[in-house]
């Protein structure tokens, strides 16, 4: 079945560092991918919709200059957390779907900023 691969699984870094998270659709093409953030014991919060070949669409309250999204190919979207601070520590998850089929999710990236 369709698989979405997310890398890395976890990151620990110092405050001020920029961190890049990759999301790949392994056996299908995805013109659209979604990025979520999840805090402990809370639901997934949609951050942005990543669109292949065009700018991402950010949800209200999400800083586009803070969370840079690049979707340069039909199988890869990246989320870069720029100048990360402790409040950016969270669980980041991406998803994509082949056509109109149900979404497939990455395993998530646990980001810890010291």
Partner 1 sequence: DAKTTQPNSMESNEEEPVHLPCNHSTISGTDYIHWYRQLPSQGPEYVIHGLTSNVNNRMASLAIAEDRKSSTLILHRATLRDAAVYYCILRDGRSGGSYIPTFGRGTSLIVHP
Q: For binding to partner 1 (CB under 8 A), which residues are involved?
A: 4, 6, 31-32, 34, 36, 42-44, 46, 49, 91, 93, 95, 100, 102-108, 110
- Minimum CB distance to partner 1 smaller for 49 or for 89: 49
- Cα 62–chain centre separation: 13
Instruction: Record the tokens describing residue 2, joined without a space.
Output: 């369709």
Nearest approach, Cβ of residue 91 and partner 1 (Å): 8
Nearest approach, Cβ of residue 3 and partner 1 (Å): 11
- Minimum CB distance to partner 1 smaller for 1 or for 14: 1
Residue with tokens 């998270």: 21
Residues contacting residue 40 through CB under 8 Å, at least 6 positions apart: none
The answer to whether the peptide bond before residue 111 is cis (omega within 30 degrees of 0) is: no
Nearest approach, Cβ of residue 37 and partner 1 (Å): 12
- Minimum CB distance to partner 1 smaller for 31 or for 112: 31
Residue pair 23/4 in contact (Cβ under 8 Å)? The answer is yes
CA distance 67 to 98: 25
Nearest approach, Cβ of residue 70 and partner 1 (Å): 19
- Minimum CB distance to partner 1 smaller for 49 or for 70: 49
């Amino acid at each position: 079945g369709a698989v979405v691969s997310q890398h890395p699984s976890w990151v620990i870094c110092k405050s001020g560092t920029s961190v890049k998270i990759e999301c790949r659709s392994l056996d299908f093409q995805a013109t659209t991918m979604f990025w979520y953030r999840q805090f402990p014991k809370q639901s997934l919060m949609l951050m942005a919709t990543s669109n292949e070949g065009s700018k991402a669409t950010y949800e209200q309250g999400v800083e586009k200059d803070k969370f840079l999204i690049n979707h340069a190919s039909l199988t890869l979207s990246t989320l870069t957390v720029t100048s990360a601070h402790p409040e950016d520590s969270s669980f980041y998850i991406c998803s994509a779907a082949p056509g109109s089929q149900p979404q497939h999710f990455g395993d998530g990236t646990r980001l810890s900023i010291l």
